[in-house]
Structure 1
């Protein structure tokens, strides 16, 4: 069993909880509140900005051109392609994508970004990969799960969202990150592997919390805007 296969097995409880979360199930059913969709897009736009920055840190730590090219391509993919699922949600709720950009991060999204930034700045390349991997991996399996469970037609309100995440690009991103993580783990000490396991599980936990954040319209308690 490869290191990434072991990670998937050890975190199956979180993957299953994500698949059955009411927000994810609501996407499959085509029935989710407009407020929750908007809250998700606001936070995910900023999250993906941070994701690209972390890819940039990984690029800066790369020791060869192959790795530099890989992380450069991943930045381009997030920047130019991963806006399409956001636009699907925006079209459904009748809000311009630009109007959902630049908003303050809710607590969970703020925590998630800082968790990844910590491993990017303080950890090994393996920790960076382990912290990043749950995002594409859980989304790819969400796409597969929803496609199998609900068999959405092109008329489904979130067909574009579901079909994007079951697509080849997300599969490729997941498998490439897994391969790189497995290669790094093969030459890592037991202590380093434990750090990678911890980074991976916390990212899985925060993926689940991210869906809950969007579904419950999570905000900071006693936010400034509420006091004004």
Structure 2
């Protein structure tokens, strides 16, 4: 059994919670309040910039040129998506271009940036994998189960994460992580799993914070 199979088994109950949470259920039905989607889009735009920085930092630490190139392309892709949000959804839904990260968004971005800078590169890769893999699984689930798909106001977002281009990136990220894990010691594999689980929890928190329209209390 490869590392990613075991890692997914560790977070499968959490993934089911993510599928069942109100944000994703209402997104799937097209009933999610627009204000909550706008809030989510704004935070996601901020997250993607920092995610791009994280992927770029990981790329610079890779010894294998092919892995270096892959993470460089992942980083570019994150920024392309962020720009697309501004040019598409931000205009469509009237989202302001000035974004202040929520406590959860800041926690998540600082977590992955910290791993990219200070942890073993294997652990850093494991920490960013949930953003690829969980998003793909959620996108596929929603795409396959949405009601009145053509009338869903969020159909374009759904199609992005259920699309073939994103699927290719996810498969590449999974393969690279498994290759790194194959060469890792048992203790390093444990650190990879811990990072993967923690980032998966932060994924749940990110959606939950958007649904709650999370604000700083002070």
Q: TM-score range by the shorter chain?
A: over 0.9
Distance 1:152 1:70, change over 3 A: farther
Residue pair 1:89, 1:158 contacting (<8 A) in 2 also: no
**TM-aligned CA deviation for residue 199 of structure 1:** 0.5
Aligned to 2:139: 143
Aligned to 1:49: 49
Please state whether the residue corresponding to 2:217 is helix, strand or coil: coil
Residue pair 2:49, 2:82 contacting (<8 A) in 1 also: no
Q: CA RMSD in A?
A: 1.8
Tell me whether 1:213 sits opposite 2:209 in the alignment: yes
Distance in 2, matches of 1:103 and 1:196, equals 31
TM-score (ref. length: structure 2):
0.93
Aligned to 1:77: 77
In structure 2, list runs of 5 or more residues that go unmatched.
none
Residue pair 2:132, 2:173 contacting (<8 A) in 1 also: no
**TM-aligned CA deviation for residue 139 of structure 1:** 1.0
The C-alpha deviation readout for 1:157-208, integer Å capped at 9, x for no partner, is 1111111111112211211111111111111111111111111001100000
Residue pair 2:52, 2:78 contacting (<8 A) in 1 also: yes
Tell me whether 1:111 sits opposite 2:112 in the alignment: no
TM-score (ref. length: structure 1):
0.89
**TM-aligned CA deviation for residue 156 of structure 1:** 2.2
**TM-aligned CA deviation for residue 102 of structure 1:** 3.5
The equivalences for 1:141-220 within 5 A come to: 141-150=137-146, 152-220=148-216
**TM-aligned CA deviation for residue 34 of structure 1:** 2.1
Distance in 2, matches of 1:128 and 1:209, equals 19
Larger CA deviation: 79-88 vs 110-119:
79-88
The C-alpha deviation readout for 1:84-112, integer Å capped at 9, x for no partner, is 4676654553x05xx2x332111111110
Q: Structure 1 stretches (4+) deviating beyond 2 angstroms?
A: 81-93, 151-156
Aligned to 1:59: 59
Distance in 1, matches of 2:168 and 2:141, equals 17
**TM-aligned CA deviation for residue 113 of structure 1:** 0.8
In structure 1, list runs of 5 or more residues that go unmatched.
223-228
Aligned to 1:225: none
Please state whether the residue corresponding to 2:149 is helix, strand or coil: coil
Residue pair 1:92, 1:157 contacting (<8 A) in 2 also: no
